[in-house]
Chain A
Amino acid sequence: MTELTQQTETAKPAAFAYAPAPESRAVVDIAPSYGLFIDGEFTDSAAGGLRKTVSPATEEVLAEYTQAEAEDVDRAVKAARKAFGPWSALPGAERAKYLFRIARIVQERSRELAVLETLDNGKPIRETRDADLPLVAAHFFYYAGWADKLAYAGFGAAPQPLGVAAQVIPWNFPLMMLAWKIAPALATGNTVVLKPAETTPLSALFFADICRQAGLPRGVVNIVTGDGSTGASLVGHPGVDKVAFTGSTAVGKEIARTVAGTDKRLTLELGGKGANIVFEDAPLDQAIEGIVNGIFFNQGQVCCAGSRLLVQESVHDEVLDALKRRLTTLRVGDPLDKNTDVGAINSAEQLARITELAAAGEAEGAERWSPACELPSDGYWFAPTLFTGVTQAHRIAREEVFGPVLSVLTFRTQEEAVAKANNTPYGLSAGIWTEKGSRILKMANQLRAGVVWANTFNKFDPASPFGGYKESGFGREGGRHGLEAYLEHA
């Protein structure tokens, strides 16, 4: 392996020199500070505490926002409760039209929102522009169409909404996670109180303005910002009928304990340690692209990332050689630059976790490799990294890194690949690369994961149910299945 590494580095093709191509920030107007969006208007907190949100790429302070305390959360839940009666009584066709309006306004403002999301999150503009924002609009458009067709969805002749939904979302796809939560909740007649992540509150606050533009009735959508304590207040509030959470498995378990013994319905979309399995008969060029997309999309800060590469022993060297060559061409840097492939890590805290786990990978004996790349001096950065010689016992093979770190393991037989892929408490995603159809179908049957990508990876669509097995959570988002989380059981 050492020999191969040296070979690759010396044979590294010189990356093309690109002129900077930054997307303009002028399209977005960020206010100096933001209140809480409760009952249709921005209000101050009872306690009045402010927090700062920074651009992870530069550490520049973008704005101040409000730390919602328990009292504020209570106000938001009450507003949502008050709005629930009239909202759920609206004909589905009318609720649909509000959601269609929101979808259209998101499309109209998508460039502004893409730039905003890139600023607050640190992910490349190429991704917010081409993935996040189109998926946000598509999600609202998709669920808009369900609002007046719920009787045909297979949940009974007159399915009923649950009431007030408490929704807590992560920082990796801030606006997309908001869409995944709010669109099905509103379509089914629920009202919501949503808490965006502590490090990425801005797109949710801009969404509040979209609700105003759409003329959405007051209190149907409420946005409370803050840290974990705000989320805990919201989830634990007795006036909440439904809790939907996307985030870490540890917090998900805590939430499951909190709602135990209550009537609150719960869905959880949690962590993962996805296996991306490459057979010797795989279309290797496509597989390399799939591996790169699987672990470096959104800097690897993706719950369904293909963070464990399982490669058949016979093609290990060939795959690694090609993969390393490909990684040398990745452009790491300014997220607003349209040529950037890999942006900033979302926070100092997340960077510390990635750094610690990567160090553990080295300490436990795996071999670390990164392409030569210059990282900006300010902001939170981590070079694309891969580890070879990883065993199943290594922490980097067991724990979710949630960063641009790929662990490479090998297998000889199909049975071994299945056993290794399933050897994790998680079960969110898996990838299969082979040209043999019957092998794909057998593997797909045997992998205990909620989403299986065969000869592709990290594909999302509003019509396609997404969610995990085992400790990756329960419930599905997307598709007809996504309605179930927000309807009374027949």
Chain B
Amino acid sequence: MSTPEPRLPVLKTYKLYVGGKFPRSESGRVYDVTDSRSTWLANAPLASRKDARDAVAAARKAFGGWSGATAYNRGQILYRIAEMLEGRRDQFATEVAAAEGVSRNKALARTDAAIDRWVWYAGWADKVTQVAGGANPVAGPFFNLSTPEPTGVVALLAPQRSSLLGLVSVLAPAIVTGNTAILVASHEAPLPALSLAEVLATSDLPPGVVNILSGNTAELARPLAAHQDVNAIDLAGAAPELATELEVAAADNLKRVLRPTTDTDPHTPWTADPGTSRLLSFLETKTVWHPIGT
């Protein structure tokens, strides 16, 4: 009896996620993604400025529907994302282990934390309005109510080292309140992000709510920071010098800017209790007055 030939695995073509579709970069470019031992893993799309602009257009188009959806509905969809991710827990643990150069157990723990983070934020969907808003006791015969509303289209630079947990920790708080997002994946470890797109696409998340780009962080971040139809930017994945340059560019249309954390350990900010700070960063408070009388 001869031993059968080992089966040749079917490799995945990693693609971008824009407007609910999985396009290649319009530029036709790709780059090598390797694991921590420099073993080749995949060719990831090297997205271009044009891809970034397309992603902004898709996010803007999705904003009305997503921000107008009921909070209960958004919460269920985020919870659905957790369910879908749970079902692919092993796959993501494998990708995280390769991306971050950690043991399988550690990768599993980080994947589990990422799943649980979706659950945490899912529950916030229909609570944040009461926590961050409320009635104001003005000195006069007026009904006066403050309500948080989503800021709009948000560009997110995912953390460079925490390829899934960090990514989810910046993405979930931005979208749960009704913002739509363009997410720039970690340059060196983009594969968990690109695979997450497949989870999002099967979780009833409307097309365009999340758009995921892989490539050179600075090349994609610059046009996003300067884009007049982007309302906010999270600089989590930007090195200090780039972060300053992007913050200057973002001032041109007064984007809300979330500066990168200064922790020396790249994982600490994402394993810690997330709190509400990111959740509240991309909200605007609207205050409505109406007279009380006959």
Q: Which residues of A contact B (CB under 8 A)?
A: 138, 154, 249, 252-254, 256-257, 260-261, 268, 270, 425, 440, 444, 449-456, 459, 461, 463-467, 469-471, 473-474, 476, 479-481, 489-490
Contacts and interface: CB of A to CB of B under 8 A. Distances in A.
13 contacts: A253-B251, A444-B288, A450-B284, A450-B287, A451-B287, A452-B286, A463-B136, A463-B138, A469-B284, A470-B231, A470-B253, A474-B284, A476-B285
Contacts of B240: 261
A453 B144 CA distance: 9
B219 interface: no
B254 A452 contact: no
A341 to B, nearest CB: 21
Interface string B269-294: 00000011100000011111111000
B109 interface: no
Contacts of A480: 134
Contacts of B10: none
Given A454-B288, A459-B138, 19 more contacts: A154-B132, A249-B254, A253-B251, A261-B243, A268-B254, A425-B253, A444-B286, A451-B288, A452-B289, A453-B289, A461-B142, A463-B137, A464-B138, A465-B287, A470-B253, A474-B256, A474-B284, A481-B146, A490-B275
A452 B277 contact: no
Contacts of A454: 288-290
Contacts of B253: 425, 470-471
A275 to B, nearest CB: 14
B8 to A, nearest CB: 50
Contact of A456 (B131, B134, B257, B291): B291
Interface residues of B, number: 36
Contacts of B286: 444, 449-452, 469
A409 B136 CA distance: 33
B254 A252 contact: yes
Given A253-B252, A454-B290, A490 B276 contact: yes
Interface string B202-225: 000000000000000000000000
B247 interface: yes
B285 A459 contact: no
B75 to A, nearest CB: 19
Interface string B250-272: 11111011000000000000000
A440 B145 CA distance: 13
B123 to A, nearest CB: 17
Interface in B108-150: 131-132, 134, 136-140, 142, 144, 146
Nearest to A252: B254
A256 B251 contact: yes
A42 to B, nearest CB: 35
Given A450-B287, A476-B285, A470 B137 contact: no
Contacts, number: 105
Contacts of A249: 254
Contact of B144 (A254, A260, A461, A471): A461
Contact of A455 (B144, B247, B252, B290): B290
B285 A465 contact: yes
Contacts of A467: 285
A252 B250 CA distance: 12
B140 A481 contact: no
B69 interface: no
Contacts of B243: 261
Contacts of B27: none
B248 interface: yes
Nearest to A266: B257
A261 B247 CA distance: 7
A440 B285 contact: no
B276 A260 contact: no
B154 to A, nearest CB: 13
A451 to B, nearest CB: 5
A456 B284 CA distance: 22
A342 B77 CA distance: 54
A428 to B, nearest CB: 11
B73 interface: no
Given A138-B139, A461-B136, A452 B287 contact: yes
Contacts of B252: 253
Contacts of A253: 251-252, 254
Nearest to A471: B254
A312 to B, nearest CB: 19
A258 to B, nearest CB: 9
Given A453-B289, A470-B231, A489 B277 contact: yes
A459 B143 CA distance: 12
B248 to A, nearest CB: 5
B244 interface: yes
B254 A257 contact: no
Nearest to A447: B286
Tell me which of B250, B275, B284, B289 has the highest count of chain A C-beta atoms within 10 A of its own C-beta: B289
Given A450-B287, A455-B290, A490-B275, A473 B136 contact: no
Nearest to A261: B244
A256 B254 CA distance: 8
Contacts of A466: 287
A466 B256 CA distance: 17
Contacts of B146: 464-465, 479, 481
